[in-house]
Structure 1
Amino acid sequence: MKKFLMLSAIAIAFTSVVSAQKTVVDIAVGSEKHTTLVAAVKAADLVATLQSAGPFTVFAPVNAAFDKLPAGTVATLLKPENKATLTKVLTYHVVAGNIDAAGVVKAITEGKGKAVLTTVSGGKLTASLVDGKVILTDENGGTATVVATDLKAGNGIVHVIDGVVLPK
């Protein structure tokens, strides 16, 4: 019985370590609501980058967010000749560091209602609270609402958003 309990404890510990080693890319790949994002990350050759040590905070748009873009936008961005633009758009959704939901809210509170986040692309996203929800405003005035938070990976954290934010 002791041997069984010990093996069970080891199996549980191993499972915890393995799940903690998921990357931010693995989280997106495992979600049926992020197939467009995954296709875009692959087309931009960002998989290896987003599987690296990080840490990264990723604001991951759902498929429906991409559907809100003007017709043909996604297909155009996925073309090889538009890889640089696609990379800029995708890295605009990534912030260096591991910022959980509580950290975002704390930064907004400390910023007297707004927190400016510098993205990996070098652009700025402004986070604010509206009716208890975190809203991201891009450099063009477009917005996205954070709809799920704190999906933890071994190299960062993912927050799901309902819109695509765009750099200037």
Structure 2
Amino acid sequence: MKRHLGIVRSCLIGVAAMGIISASGLWCRADGADAKDIVDTLEDIGMLATFTRSVHLGQIHEMLREGGPFTVFAPNEEAFLNLPAETIEMLFDHNNRDELDGLIAYHVVPDEIRSSGMRDGSSATALNEEVLHITRKNGALFVQNARIIRADIVCSNGIIHIIDKVILNGD
């Protein structure tokens, strides 16, 4: 009897967890059906708050909501914390929207690239026409010098890969 209760509890915990994940918008079918657009998905991922704020402040916002397909290499919060304070202040100064748009454009590729399609030594051209180099080291994928820490978050108009560094010009 105790064994059956344990199984029932495990099943209930699993169902509850699936409900939480589903309600967060992070659970979607592999083919992208019923997925949210890139902007809505960014908003749902708490570890991307600063990048999401950047997208909302910049001019690329509507394009990422309605256009596509796109691949977004989205830096997590820790990536922004590792930038110098003066860089953050400069990017978020309302007089520097072009700089912010440039930063976002460096993280967006106008094509959908899943991790399975990334090969060591391959490259992709970002919206700002800069070439992003993709490497594989010890089984981990990198774009420029940023490690992809979570890959293939499917959206209705593309895909998001979470990275651990902000990609800056010259990286």
Give distance in 2, aligned partners of 1:77 and 1:29.
Answer: 20
Residue from 35, 46, 55 that aligns with 2:60: 46
Q: Which runs of 5+ in 1 are unaligned?
A: 1-14, 138-142
Give distance in 2, aligned partners of 1:46 and 1:115.
Answer: 25
Deviation at 1:46, TM superposition (A): 2.2
Give distance in 2, aligned partners of 1:51 and 1:33.
Answer: 19
Residue from 74, 81, 89 that aligns with 1:67: 81
Q: Which runs of 4+ in 1 moved over 4 A?
A: 15-19
Q: Note the aligned Cα RMSD (angstroms).
A: 1.9
- SS state at 1:166 partner: coil
The share of aligned pairs that are identical, in percent, is: 30
Q: Which runs of 5+ in 2 are unaligned?
A: 1-27
Give distance in 2, aligned partners of 1:120 and 1:144.
Answer: 18
Residue 126 of structure 1 corresponds to 133
Retained in 2: the 8 A contact 1:116–1:125? yes
Quick check: 1:27 aligned with 2:41?
Answer: yes
TM-score under structure 1 normalisation?
Answer: 0.79
Residue 158 of structure 1 corresponds to 160
Give distance in 1, aligned partners of 2:62 and 2:35.
Answer: 15
Quick check: 1:36 aligned with 2:43?
Answer: no
TM-score under structure 2 normalisation?
Answer: 0.77
Deviation at 1:102, TM superposition (A): 0.2
Residue 169 of structure 2 corresponds to 167
